[in-house]
A and B are shown apart, each in its own frame.
Chain A
């Protein structure tokens, strides 16, 4: 079976990405959250 660095990659730590990453972590996934500017989004 192929292995990956992360179970879940979330691109953008804005209003949607943040809760998605937290939920992913709550569900036991190994999560990467990547942000190019400031957290929190627009």
Chain B
């Protein structure tokens, strides 16, 4: 769907820059884009099922909602199963904050927003995190008039402040009404529209739109599991607390992925899964290490990062050098993408890379050079002294590394 938004943006807004003339009106067909997405997802489901069928002698794939009866048994709705070890991988779902009026209107979530037949003429997105940013930009490109309300002063609050603020500026350039430090106080229906009221710098503002998308954080999918019967305790927002081996408060029950909170990414869940299985089945005692988890907001330009931000490193009392370069160079010019900035955060005493923060076209791919270099305490020389192909966007990663010397 993000790709559909990108194609729409290029064709509708930028084709002429590249010498491409489009005659007539450019229309976005939501149904066709959704059908394309569904086709891709169906293919993924098919391959997952066939992989499971190939393992049917060892893996019983069962349908049902599991609920713990005690520390060694679950009820699946139609049967009772006993287990020696269990791994809870039930994920997270969107949080529904206690906003007055929220239950009186229909709001969209990340699933229902992709089931619409038509693009809503206007949309208020509540939540300035990864999901809120991605959906706001995507719908703006589909043709909605979008307002993005972030609760914090910064969008994507865990990311580098300068880059997050730059991204907010770019979203505004794209026509999105971005409001930060906005705390939503009430929502209500008004005829066929919806009104979202928010407190911004001590003033109350009303935002009217045809649709409202709620993306204000996530909660763990634990409320129907009856974890207490199994002796597993949950903490804030229904997330399960685990130790570094992914063990819950019940030593033979483990939790992985989103349901344990923290960084909620597919690549964290797929990293956790085999570790928990090793520890559960072979008592391997293997620990997780989340110091080098890359993260990406799939915006345009993409905000991708790994490791500590400059502010986090300084808070830890580390003497840091920051190398920073704007998006530039032959390739960026050639593809007509000039928005963004790259920052390398380096320990001044020994050159160790502490973090890398990229707001750039294809930042999601570029960040992996830093991820690889950071393994086993790599220094910035690994990047700054390596030969990079010309003309590539990766040359900008090298330039940021050189600027951190």
| Chain A interface residues toward B at CB < 8 A | 4-25, 27-36, 38-42
Contacts and interface: CB of A to CB of B under 8 A. Distances in A.
Given A6-B84, A36-B65, A23 B274 contact: yes
A5 B81 contact: yes
Given A9-B81, A39-B45, A22 B51 contact: yes
Residue with the highest number of chain A CB atoms closer than 10 Å, among B90, B273, B282: B273
Contact of B91 (A10, A14, A20): A14
Interface string B303-341: 000000000000000000000000000000000000000
A22 B59 contact: yes
Interface of A (DSSP majority class): mixed
28 contacts: A8-B85, A8-B281, A9-B74, A9-B81, A9-B83, A10-B86, A12-B221, A16-B272, A16-B273, A18-B273, A19-B270, A20-B89, A21-B55, A21-B277, A22-B59, A23-B273, A23-B277, A24-B59, A28-B58, A32-B83, A33-B60, A34-B62, A35-B63, A36-B66, A38-B45, A39-B52, A42-B93, A42-B110
B258 interface: yes
Closest 3 CB pairs between A and B? A16-B257, A16-B269, A17-B89
A9 B85 contact: yes
Interface residues of B, number: 52
B44 interface: yes
Contacts of B59: 21-22, 24-25, 31-33
A20 B274 contact: yes
Contacts of A36: 63-66
Given A20-B276, A31-B60, A5 B82 contact: yes
A12 B266 CA distance: 14
Contacts of B90: 11-12, 14
Interface in B43-71: 44-45, 48-49, 51-52, 55, 58-66
A30 B400 CA distance: 50
Nearest to A14: B91
Interface string B230-266: 0000000000000000000000000011110000001
B85 A7 contact: yes
Interface string B81-104: 111111111111100000000000
B273 A17 contact: yes
B82 A14 contact: no
Nearest to A7: B84
B69 to A, nearest CB: 12
B280 interface: yes
A27 B278 CA distance: 8
Contacts of B89: 10-14, 16-17, 20
Contacts of B273: 15-21, 23
A23 B45 contact: no
A35 B61 contact: yes
B281 A24 contact: yes
B204 interface: no
